[in-house]
Amino acid sequence: MNLKQLWTGLITNLSFILFLFGLITFVVAASLINFIVGWVVAGIALIFLAYAIS
């Protein structure tokens, strides 16, 4: 195994790790945004419901 193959393997692994990290970060961010949006929507719905009842 020469140096060029080693570098190619390293770069491939690094890009794959970065891709996985990006994917995990994206999933975490998306679920967090969904969670926040869910709470906001629930809050607005509750306010609207309280307004409709009164």
pLDDT digits (tens, 9 = 90+) for 1-54: 688 888 999 999 999 999 999 999 999 999 999 999 999 999 999 999 999 998
- Count CA within 13 A, CB hemisphere, residue 25: 6
Neighbours of 25 (CB within 10 A): 10
pTM, full prediction: 0.57
Q: What is the pLDDT of residue 44?
A: 97
24 phi/psi in degrees, rounded to 5: -60, -45
Q: What is the pLDDT of residue 1?
A: 65
3-state secondary structure of 4: helix
Percentage of the chain beyond pLDDT 90 is 83
pLDDT single digits (tens) 34-46? 999 999 999 999 9
